[in-house]
A and B are shown apart, each in its own frame.
Chain A
């Protein structure tokens, strides 16, 4: 399923767990060693300056950790970036300084935004949506924080991706690639509707049957 939010949750858990364990071990180790081997202890400092076997084994462990992380990452990325099935719905996202336009080409529906009123992206819950995103001017980025996903809106070229929204619900999206004076205001609303409500919304917008 092209559901980055669950992929993100799934993948960030082991990453975070490993990071927290490593951080705790190293901080405790550094503090312990710094206090245990304080000056004033009797005897001269050790002169040992290498432990090749131990260090080699440690490097092998590091490489193993890297390999495990990469396998998990590649699997998750395969799912998030998959573009496989014929999509039920297409939405074209057009970014321009400093607002968004959402087109539903199959239905002839367009939702424009203005500089003072952010536009609203309306999508059905539980259905696969194929997005195409591009920019009319500088590089922008289409960010859905609630879905843990973003994609750059490049000038004069479409970027394609697919998402499934669990819904219904409302949240905010934003441009996350700096695009000039009013970048901070380049936000949009997202409204996830139940499938029937979405069909109603399309008809209200004058969708061509």
Chain B
């Protein structure tokens, strides 16, 4: 332990929070935990729906679900994963960690941030209430194209509940992103200039910028959908159908980067820490994040290559150009590890798993950025494989790297290493067994969003493999939950800095006290604690020679 941790305030004695504190407490740490736990519950619920779908798809014919209930399941699965899990979870990491990383006491506008959590609770309750209505939950898909989602073709109340739920979740993301952005701009500790922000905080900043620019389109789309369904026609005819797609994908593409960058940032912190090296190429990395964000605001048309209404070449150009910033991130990751002293603890395993599995998602993304290739594979299982490799192979691997990395800071305890490694290997095997066969299914002509397929098509074997893989994924989640349970029941204390972290959150107690820091070290780079450690090493070397 360096001298930095010494003069730190003691943690407050652990007290059990009453219902009022749980509902209305505003501290950024407890709020971050509540937001994250809420999002994670939605993750498990949506995952359970996926297991039901995979069970149905293992064999041709309908065994456990009807076509109608299958449509409800994939709609609520995708909607829950995007609107209720991925975005809130990414922002929750920021709510907890950004103030700590920049040496602040709390987020800006903490009560507004609290409203962000309430909004996501309301959004989830509204959307899932669809299952309780007579007609069932929404069944028009997570992007609910017009006119399929209008009152004529989707007369059920569940579709209204869905639109309102999605709108509430978008508002939640907007207020949370606003609070985080204000925090980063206004609450940095003395010495923490913009180009000394930790890489995770930079990734969060870029995500929040994208939320503020892209999510208003979703608010508009949902509000107009509600008006169209209940009051007066908005999206009728050809133009309405295509305009809805523009509105939706103007949100719908950037959102996949919103739920990706924070985990890239977390993985970067993990790789640097567990390599015992400073993050390599900090400035190119920050630039690449900005380039990534800029490009990703201008690629939405690649979801519409087959509509016959789009400047396909333009969107192909911007989409293919994304390989440049993505390549920079891989360069910096490998260069950070090069010459380091790498410790393969669970967070690092998930970070390396992220590099390898996201790679398949990214490379298949270049493939479908080419219209003549996309014409064939779009709306097929190839796309399902592609985006699950980016969202599960990328974001969820990154999320688990973040969970295992920051768990000691948040709880003051360690997660079990052996269960963590088991969790990692099961997830790695499960994700590849589930999603890799889908590339071949799509190439062979299996459309997405079908509950049934002809037995003559020859897709049964690959579907059985995918279903088996999904059960392995289900098992890996049980191992994770068991790890959490065991680690909280029989606590192994972590101390303030079990990993030798580089950033400010590791120079305070675990969990941090109410206002985070008693004292801060000097901030001269994006890795202030590493600076201190390197200076100590240099001084001791000088002293011995």
Contacts and interface: CB of A to CB of B under 8 A. Distances in A.
Interface string A125-167: 0000000000001110101011011111011110111000000
A19 B364 contact: yes
Given A12-B367, A149-B375, A154 B71 contact: no
A46 B537 CA distance: 13
B153 interface: yes
Interface stretch (B110-118, B208-216, B306-314): B306-314
A52 B287 CA distance: 13
Contacts of A143: 379-380, 445, 447
A111 interface: no
Of the four ranges (under 10, 10 to 19, 20 to 34, 35 or more), the interface on chain A belongs to 35 or more
B359 A139 contact: no
Interface stretch (A84-92, A100-108, A174-182, A201-209): A174-182
A49 interface: yes
Contact of B145 (A97, A138, A176): A138
Contact of A138 (B147, B283, B445): B147
B449 A178 contact: yes
A46 B323 CA distance: 28
Contacts of B360: 23
B338 A152 contact: no
A33 B334 contact: yes
Contacts of B122: none
A59 interface: yes
A174 B212 CA distance: 39
A70 B320 contact: yes
A66 B321 CA distance: 6
Interface in B316-347: 316-317, 320-321, 323-324, 327-328, 330-331, 334-335, 337-344
B320 A69 contact: yes
Interface in A63-115: 63, 65-66, 69-70, 72-74, 76-77, 80-81, 97
B148 A59 contact: no
B153 A138 contact: yes
Contact of B306 (A51, A150, A160): A150
Contacts of A44: 341, 537
Contacts of B390: none
Interface in B364-392: 364, 366-367, 370-373, 375-376, 378-380
B281 interface: yes
Interface in B382-426: none
A188 to B, nearest CB: 13
B277 A45 contact: yes
B19 to A, nearest CB: 42
B444 interface: yes
A38 B338 CA distance: 10
Contacts of B536: none
A180 B150 CA distance: 12
A65 B323 contact: yes
Given A27-B356, A58-B327, 15 more contacts: A12-B373, A34-B352, A41-B341, A49-B277, A50-B283, A55-B335, A59-B284, A73-B372, A80-B371, A146-B445, A176-B448, A178-B71, A183-B450, A184-B450, A184-B453
Interface of A: 4, 7-8, 11-12, 15-16, 19, 22-23, 26-27, 29-30, 33-34, 37-41, 44-52, 55, 58-59, 62-63, 65-66, 69-70, 72-74, 76-77, 80-81, 97, 137-139, 141, 143, 145-146, 148-152, 154-157, 159-161, 172, 174-185
